[in-house]
A and B are shown apart, each in its own frame.
Chain A
Amino acid sequence: MMTRRQLEVAMPWLVTIGIIVVWELVVIGFGIREFVLPAPTAVFDAFMQFRGPILDHALHTLYTTVIGFAFAVVGGVILGVAVGSSTLVYTGIYPVLIGFNSIPKVAVVPVLVVWFGIGAVPAIITAFLISFFPIAVNVATGLATLEPELEDVLRSLGAKKLDILIKVGFPRSLPYFFASLKVAITLAFVGSVISETIASNEGIGYLMLQASSRFQIPLVFAGLVVIAIMGIVMYAIFAAIERRFTGWATRKIDYATGG
C-alpha cells in the first residue's frame, strides 16, 4: 500500500507514463501514419539515432536561453524595483511595458536579424525580451503591495526609503520574484527556439525546422520532447531554490504535505 505522501511523489511519473501509453495506443489503434503523428517509440528511435546532433543543438539552445534569461533577471529586477517603488515611474512606464509585451516576439526576430545577423545574438535577445516582463511585473507587485501600516512603523522610526526597501520590500517580494523565475525560464526557451527556427544555423529550433522540411517528423518530435525536458529541469531547479529561500511564504503547503 502506498501512503498518500508516496503517491504524491509518484504522481508526475504516473501521469507522464500514462500520456505516453495512451499516445502509443492511439497511434497504433487508429493506424496514424508516422509523418502525421509518430508514436513515442518512433520518437525514441529517432532520438537514439540522432542523439549526437540533438545533444549538440540542445546545448546550444540551453546556452542562448540561460544567457537571455540571466539578462532578463537583471533587467526585470531593476525595472520591477523602479516601477514598484515609484508611482511616477509606474504611471509612466507601465503602458509602454504592456504595449511592448503585446508585440508577438516572432515579429521582432527579423528586425533583430537585420541588426545583429543570424546566430546566437537574436536568440539571446528574443529569450530576454519574452522573459523579463513577468519578472518585472512580479517584483513590482511585491513591492507595491507593502502594508501601509508597516511602512508607517518604519517611517516613524526614521527609516529612509532605502531602509524600507532593504528591510521589508526585498524580502517581501522574494516569493513573487521566485514564482516569476519559474514562469520566465520556460518562456525563455520559447523565445530562443522561436528565434532559432527563423534565423539560426544552430539550436533545437533549427534542427526541428530542418527535420520537418525533410519530413523526418519523429525527429521533430524528439526535438520537442528535449525542449520540454530542459524546461522541466530548469523549472525544478528554480522551484528548489524558491523553497530554500522563501519557506516562510509557502509554509501552508509544507504543513499540508508534511502531515
Chain B
Amino acid sequence: MTAFVDLDRVSLRYGGPDGTLAVEGLNLKLREGEFAAVVGPSGCGKSSLMKLVTGLYPASDGTVIVAGSEVAGPLKIVGMAFQNPTLLPWRTTLRNVMLPLEIVQPHRGRLRRNFAAYERQAKDLLATVGLEGFERKHPWQLSGGMQQRTSLCRSLIHQPALLMLDEPFAALDAFTREELWGVLQDLWLQKRFTVILVTHDLREAVYLADTVHVMSNRPGRIIASYGIDLPRPRTLATTFEPHFVDIVHKLRDHISQVRQDVVAA
C-alpha cells in the first residue's frame, strides 16, 4: 500500500541559499486514516513541517507527496487548526465554522442553494464537540476552550482528507486540554481522516496518535518513530496505566538526549 503522506529527504531553507536550514533530510510516511503526532524540542522545525505538507512553503530539496501527487502549491484538501483559534470576531460561531464552505469547491458553488442543509451540518458538528446552543454567540463570548472547539470544527467542516494541527491545545488549561483530547479522538474515530498533530506535550501525543515521531534539533528531521499499540478508544484512565507511562518515559528520555546533544555540540 502506498503512503497517503510521503516526505522523502525533504529540506527547507528560509531566506535564500544562505538562509537558515529549518528542516533537512526529513523522511515521514503516513497511511491514509493514520493519526500521527510529531514531537520534539522547541525550535526544531515542527511548524516548518506543517507548511511543507500543506504546500504553503515549497520544499528546497526532496519531494512531498500527498494523496498520490506531488505538492506544488497550497493544498485544498487540508484542514488546519493552530494554538491561536484565529476566529473572525465579526462572525458568529456558526458562521465561523462555515467559513471554509465559502471557499472550498464544490461547497462554494452549492452553499447559496443548499444553505439550510450546510447550516444543519455545521450545527451537528458543533453539537458533537459540545457547543450546542452557542451557534449565535460571537467568539469573544466563548471561553478559550470553546473557541478552540470552534476552530476544530472549522478545520473539519469541509471534510478534509488531511487535518493539520499545530499545538492546538497548548494555550489551554490542563483540564480543558484533556477534555479536548477526548473530543478530537471521538471525531477521528467517527470520520477517520488523516491527522498530523504537532505538539510538545508527550502525553497528548501518546494519548491521541497511532505513531509518534520524534524530531531532532534544527535542522529538523525524524530521528525515531514509535508505534502506539494502546487500544481505542483511549480514556484518561489509559494515561495512568503502566504501559502508557512507559511509552511517555521512553519518549522523554529520547528527547532529553536530543537536547543534551545540542548543549554538548
Binding site for B on A (CB under 8 A): 147, 149-150, 152-159, 163, 167-168, 171-172, 174, 246, 248-249, 251
Contacts and interface: CB of A to CB of B under 8 A. Distances in A.
Contacts of A158: 74-76, 103-105
A156 B80 contact: yes
Nearest to A157: B103
A156 B103 contact: no
B89 A159 contact: no
A158, A167, A246 pick with most chain B CB within 10 angstroms: A158
Given A156-B75, A158-B76, A171 B86 contact: no
- Which 7 A-B pairs have CB atoms at the shortest separation, nearest pair first? A158-B76, A248-B90, A150-B86, A156-B78, A157-B103, A156-B54, A155-B74
B84 interface: yes
Nearest to B140: A251
Given A167-B99, A248-B89, A251-B140, A149 B84 contact: yes
B135 interface: no
A152 B76 contact: no
B140 A171 contact: no
A21 B151 CA distance: 57
Contact of B103 (A159, A171, A172): A159
B56 interface: yes
Interface residues of B, number: 28
Provide the main secondary structure of the chain A interface: helix
B138 A248 contact: yes
A157, A168, A246, A249 pick with most chain B CB within 10 angstroms: A157
Contacts of A168: 88
Nearest to B99: A167
B90 A149 contact: no
Contacts of A156: 54-56, 74-76, 78-80, 164
Interface in B83-106: 84, 86, 88-90, 99-100, 102-105
23 contacts: A147-B86, A149-B84, A149-B86, A150-B86, A150-B88, A152-B54, A152-B80, A153-B82, A153-B86, A156-B55, A156-B56, A156-B76, A156-B80, A157-B76, A157-B78, A157-B104, A157-B158, A158-B104, A167-B99, A167-B102, A171-B88, A172-B88, A248-B140
A163 B108 CA distance: 12
A163 B90 contact: no
A174 B155 CA distance: 26
Contact of B84 (A147, A157, A251): A147
A149, A156, A158, A167 pick with most chain B CB within 10 angstroms: A156
A152 B82 CA distance: 10
Contacts of B55: 156
Nearest to A248: B90
A190 to B, nearest CB: 32
A163 B76 CA distance: 14
Nearest to B162: A156
A149 B104 contact: no
A174 B89 CA distance: 12
B89 A249 contact: yes
A153 to B, nearest CB: 5
Interface string B211-247: 0000000000000000000000000000000000000
B5 to A, nearest CB: 14
Contacts of B99: 167
Contact of B100 (A152, A157, A171): A157
Contacts of A251: 138, 140
A149 B47 CA distance: 11
Contacts of A163: 103
A167 B101 CA distance: 12
B145 to A, nearest CB: 19
A246 to B, nearest CB: 8
A155 B76 CA distance: 8
